[in-house]
Structure 1
Amino acid sequence: MENHMTAEHLDTLLKQRLKSNRWYCTGLGNNVDEEIEWERDVVQDLLAEYFPSANLPTRIPEEIATPEDFLILVVALFRQGKGMELPLVNEGVCRFLEQHFQCQRTLGGTGARSARALATLGLRVFVNLNILSETVRRLLDLPTLYTIVGSEMIRLRDAADLGEESYAPHFIVQYSEGDELQIGRETICCPQSNRIILPYDEINTIFTLNSSYFHHVSDMGNHVASIVISGFNSMSDEALLLSRLQEVESGLNSIRAQNIPIYLEDAGYHKPAYKQHVLRQLGPMSTIFGMNEDELADIVRLHHHRVDINDLQSVLNGLECVFEQYPVRNIVVHTKDFALYYGHDRRQHDIAAGLVFANALASTRARIGRDGTCDDLHQTLALPESSQGKLFQQQAQKTISNRYLVVSPARCLDQPACTIGLGDTFVAGFQIGFSHP
């Protein structure tokens, strides 16, 4: 398929996937997000209260323990238009955020968000959830979405009384390109829309995997379209992380003979060095390793490299660094301007279609602030493509490499309605092209 998709192409591909009626298996963790409504006046008032001299430290804290830490982080990342995930380590800061900002409760976690995006399109989804509650059921109330309760695979909306979850919020601050803050005499203009994730979550630090999940996946046999693996980034104990990785590796080994495509998605790790354990243990078992531009920068920084995301050759050099350091076979990078695949030739999967569908689904969420239907995707495809993405696509066609390179421009959205969950939604869309037909 050409690296372009019309509404007719999209409809045809989706109908093929619906007709095949395969299972899209996602996981492995989830959470409940508290999306903070950006209120400039509130932020300005807090800055005036906590930093009356307007003299903020420039060094980003390693964790958020005080309101001052929160404000330092917000200003530093707002100035750069960057995103990040850092843990909250003090419940008092959670209460501080709830007191000063309006919050909307939503679903969190790559596995859960990608599951909802796929189920919204009518595809059958089987998701591992390590937090089960009435709130989660309400947020995932879709007829084709199934999970594990105890050892039983059931439709989530049919589960018995699940109770309420423990207090484990993930606060998310999002800001838009062009937003302004006044720091003393300096006016800061945000150069790019982005978000900050601040979890206060003991549940995902231990990351309990339901042992029945991979048994059910194995029983599905050739009815599985693909598997999405993610969710280790909040873990704080190295020995426990290694134990959990061994559990997942054993589960994946049990289905290896079925040759199911496996997509391993990166995240912002609270302890960046732990990412290396995940890649070294699960990288060899994964068909594709996916990440956004911030996560790519984090990986290469561990090995004293830098990436200029606006320079295709710099991006490819960064990916070569990843290949040199870790046993991954193929890589997908997704950004606001483009998505690319770099690795072995995987023509038995429709990589180009996966990238285009993924960009369309993520851009739809950015455009309307929710998971998209087929009609929503049609409207998104009518938008112009990113000029930066088109430039990269043209350069990719002229790039000589011993690896297979595909670049797909994203849609141009200068003022997105939402910056939260776009990577998770991209992961969902990519499965539609990448998965077994």
Structure 2
Amino acid sequence: MEPAGVQLEEAIGALTDVSVFLAYNANVDAIVRVDSDLEAFLEHPDEPGTDPPVTPLASRRDLAGAITHAMAAGRGDEAAMTDDLAATLEAALEADAQQMGGQAGIMTNLVSALGASPITYTYLLSERQFSQFDDPDAVQYPRVEDGQVRPVPLADAVDAERTKINWVFEFREGDELFGVQATGNTRFIAASRPPAFDLHAGQLDEAIDQIGDAVDGALLAGYHNLTPDHVEAGYGPTHRHARDVLRRLRSGGDLEVHVEYVTTHDEELRASIAEWILPEANVVGIDAHELAILFGDADLDVDLEGIGEVPTNASPFEPREILAHYRMLEALREDLGVDCIRLHAMEYHLAVMDSYLSPDAVGRGLSFAAVAAATKAARGEITAPEDLETGLAYEPSADGRDAIDRLADHLGADADDGTLTTPTVVARPNRVVDDPAGTVGIGDIVSASSFVLELAIAGGPTEDDGDGESDTVRGDEDEP
């Protein structure tokens, strides 16, 4: 077994030949710490911490109620806000920091940092947004001229005056706002919804098959960035258009497509995404809270007897929750007709699949994602491959190993210290950082890192030492 650093270097080296198309949402996240200054800026909600967010958020009072609800629940949440409230926040509230936001933007920064080759499309690309790309010279933008896609340097695509800004209100356990104490370390996001975010990309929509022919895979997100005000005919026609574009993207052959699911309080919007978009993916990325909501929306008949309540990110961790997650994922995968659903829970990562890439590739992708997630949580950013050494310093979760061992027993399969690899179920423990530098985007880091490494492994030879795992992806001798 080679030293851990050499193995990580080899894993990174496998990514250099991977090209990925990313769309649709990139924005600037304005970070605000929840404190007394924020309380003075907001208006006292009627019942702090009690009611879920109204949609869209239209006032400082609405915003205060939404933040306190997330604090009481101890679970990250997001809601759209009106253009008027977005303008008010931008004019009157000062951010403590700003960073890249939006799933496609966050995943682009990671893909470029790891040495892969991203081609990224987003609706609004202003100078302010451009400044949030860590390595813009490594990113190309798909420009269409005379029906032909010509990737150009990202700097050449800057053409918007407006910037999409999401406001991220971060809090830690014990923080207080209007008498409500936070029960966990997470955040509430007040998301702007500019009219430009309507899932129409002009000439690129008709020429998107040229992108599909040129890349190894696609990481897609942002299908939730619609509001009734900006989609006059309803969500269905817009998502049908997006579905047709997705089909055209992969029309040239076997292009792997990952859709990063984001839930919303708008039930009609969730239903439209589940009907028109998710079934077109090869793999869907999801967290425990999103899984619970998607599963509830599907109204599937699944036996969870003996499991207790459906677990979410806010539930106290119990190893048996993995059995519920497995049954829910299995039912949803079959209902949606996708090849794979990949769950990133706090203590473990779990993939349930049918005819997706090899279980070996998926397992190594999940192990790699655990290192990347720990790095993001500990450092707040990943800007270079060597940053991942930070993630290796955090041990795989003992609770995650216990949960995976329990799932293995349930399936009648063998697990090696929390490492489960079967033809249809793959699980790896996460590496948990107790005091994260930030919480936004960790799920996107998990999905992007696992997906690009899966593509790299599927596209080239692997070195197997007989245990079903390639040493090039293992962090150390204890790495699953």
Question: Which TM-score band applies after superposition, normalised by the shorter structure?
Answer: 0.7 to 0.9
- Determine the C-alpha separation between the residues in 2 that align with 1:408 and 1:42: 41
What is the CA-CA distance between 1:129 and the residue it aligns to?
A: 1.2
1:105 aligns with 2:108: no
- Determine the C-alpha separation between the residues in 2 that align with 1:192 and 1:386: 19
**Alpha carbons of 1:156 and 1:91: their partners in 2 closer, same or farther (altered >3 Å)?**
farther
Q: Cα deviation per residue 1:286-311 (whole Å; 9 max; x = unaligned)?
A: 21111111211211232457621441
1:147 aligns with 2:131: no
- Determine the C-alpha separation between the residues in 1 that align with 2:124 and 2:83: 21
- SS at 1:206 equivalent: coil
- Determine the C-alpha separation between the residues in 2 that align with 1:269 and 1:191: 22
- Determine the C-alpha separation between the residues in 2 that align with 1:116 and 1:428: 10
Matched length: 422
**Structure 2 equivalent of residue 227 of structure 1:** 218
1:423 aligns with 2:443: yes
- SS at 2:326 equivalent: helix
**Structure 1 equivalent of residue 64 of structure 2:** 71
Whether the 8 Å CA contact 1:364–1:372 is kept in 2: the answer is no
**Alpha carbons of 1:385 and 1:342: their partners in 2 closer, same or farther (altered >3 Å)?**
same
Return the letter of the residue paired with 1:83.
G
Question: After the TM superposition, which residues 1-400 of structure 1 pair with which residues of structure 2 at under 5 Å, given as runs?
Answer: 6-18=4-16, 21-36=17-32, 38-45=33-40, 50=44, 56=48, 58-63=50-55, 64-89=57-82, 91-92=84-85, 94-96=87-89, 99-140=92-133, 141-149=135-143, 151=145, 153-159=150-156, 162-166=158-162, 168-176=164-172, 178-181=173-176, 188=181, 190-203=182-195, 205-212=197-204, 215=207, 218=210, 221=213, 223-237=214-228, 239=233, 241-254=235-248, 255-303=250-298, 307-309=310-312, 310=317, 311-323=321-333, 325-344=335-354, 346-348=356-358, 350-400=361-411
Whether the 8 Å CA contact 1:267–1:295 is kept in 2: the answer is yes
What is the CA-CA distance between 1:332 and the residue it aligns to?
A: 0.4
Whether the 8 Å CA contact 1:214–1:252 is kept in 2: the answer is no
- SS at 2:366 equivalent: helix
What is the CA-CA distance between 1:367 and the residue it aligns to?
A: 0.9
Whether the 8 Å CA contact 1:389–1:410 is kept in 2: the answer is yes
- Determine the C-alpha separation between the residues in 2 that align with 1:231 and 1:182: 30
**Alpha carbons of 1:72 and 1:124: their partners in 2 closer, same or farther (altered >3 Å)?**
same
Return the letter of the residue paired with 2:138.
T
When structure 1 is superposed on structure 2, of 423-432 and 55-64 the one drifting more is 55-64
- Determine the C-alpha separation between the residues in 1 that align with 2:333 and 2:356: 17
Return the letter of the residue paired with 1:380.
G
- Determine the C-alpha separation between the residues in 2 that align with 1:150 and 1:104: 35
User: Structure 1: 5+ residue runs without aligned partners?
Assistant: none
- SS at 1:275 equivalent: helix
Whether the 8 Å CA contact 1:135–1:164 is kept in 2: the answer is no
When structure 1 is superposed on structure 2, of 38-47 and 75-84 the one drifting more is 38-47
Whether the 8 Å CA contact 1:386–1:409 is kept in 2: the answer is yes
- SS at 1:35 equivalent: strand
- Determine the C-alpha separation between the residues in 2 that align with 1:403 and 1:409: 18
- Determine the C-alpha separation between the residues in 2 that align with 1:208 and 1:270: 23
- Determine the C-alpha separation between the residues in 2 that align with 1:214 and 1:386: 46
- Determine the C-alpha separation between the residues in 2 that align with 1:414 and 1:302: 32
Return the letter of the residue paired with 1:418.
G
**Alpha carbons of 1:210 and 1:307: their partners in 2 closer, same or farther (altered >3 Å)?**
farther
Whether the 8 Å CA contact 2:106–2:444 is kept in 1: the answer is yes
**Alpha carbons of 1:312 and 1:214: their partners in 2 closer, same or farther (altered >3 Å)?**
farther
Q: Cα deviation per residue 1:320-365 (whole Å; 9 max; x = unaligned)?
A: 4423543333100112322110121545360011112222222211
TM-score by length of 1: 0.86
What is the CA-CA distance between 1:181 and the residue it aligns to?
A: 1.5
**Alpha carbons of 1:14 and 1:335: their partners in 2 closer, same or farther (altered >3 Å)?**
same
What is the CA-CA distance between 1:79 and the residue it aligns to?
A: 1.6
- Determine the C-alpha separation between the residues in 1 that align with 2:211 and 2:165: 34
When structure 1 is superposed on structure 2, of 120-129 and 301-310 the one drifting more is 301-310
**Alpha carbons of 1:420 and 1:156: their partners in 2 closer, same or farther (altered >3 Å)?**
farther
TM-score by length of 2: 0.79
- Determine the C-alpha separation between the residues in 2 that align with 1:99 and 1:308: 39
**Structure 1 equivalent of residue 434 of structure 2:** 414
**Alpha carbons of 1:213 and 1:312: their partners in 2 closer, same or farther (altered >3 Å)?**
same
- Determine the C-alpha separation between the residues in 1 that align with 2:435 and 2:357: 35
- SS at 1:301 equivalent: helix
Return the letter of the residue paired with 2:262.
A
**Alpha carbons of 1:91 and 1:171: their partners in 2 closer, same or farther (altered >3 Å)?**
same
Whether the 8 Å CA contact 1:279–1:328 is kept in 2: the answer is no
- SS at 1:12 equivalent: helix
What is the CA-CA distance between 1:266 and the residue it aligns to?
A: 0.2
- Determine the C-alpha separation between the residues in 1 that align with 2:343 and 2:428: 11
**Alpha carbons of 1:274 and 1:324: their partners in 2 closer, same or farther (altered >3 Å)?**
farther
**Alpha carbons of 1:210 and 1:392: their partners in 2 closer, same or farther (altered >3 Å)?**
farther
- Determine the C-alpha separation between the residues in 2 that align with 1:214 and 1:125: 20
Return the letter of the residue paired with 1:62.
V
**Structure 1 equivalent of residue 425 of structure 2:** 405
- Determine the C-alpha separation between the residues in 2 that align with 1:357 and 1:12: 12
Whether the 8 Å CA contact 1:340–1:408 is kept in 2: the answer is yes
User: Structure 2: 5+ residue runs without aligned partners?
Assistant: 301-308, 413-421, 460-480
- Determine the C-alpha separation between the residues in 1 that align with 2:274 and 2:397: 31
Whether the 8 Å CA contact 2:83–2:193 is kept in 1: the answer is no
Q: Using CA pairs below 8 Å that are at least 6 residues apart, which structure has the higher relative contact order?
A: 1
Aligned residues: percent identity? Answer: 17
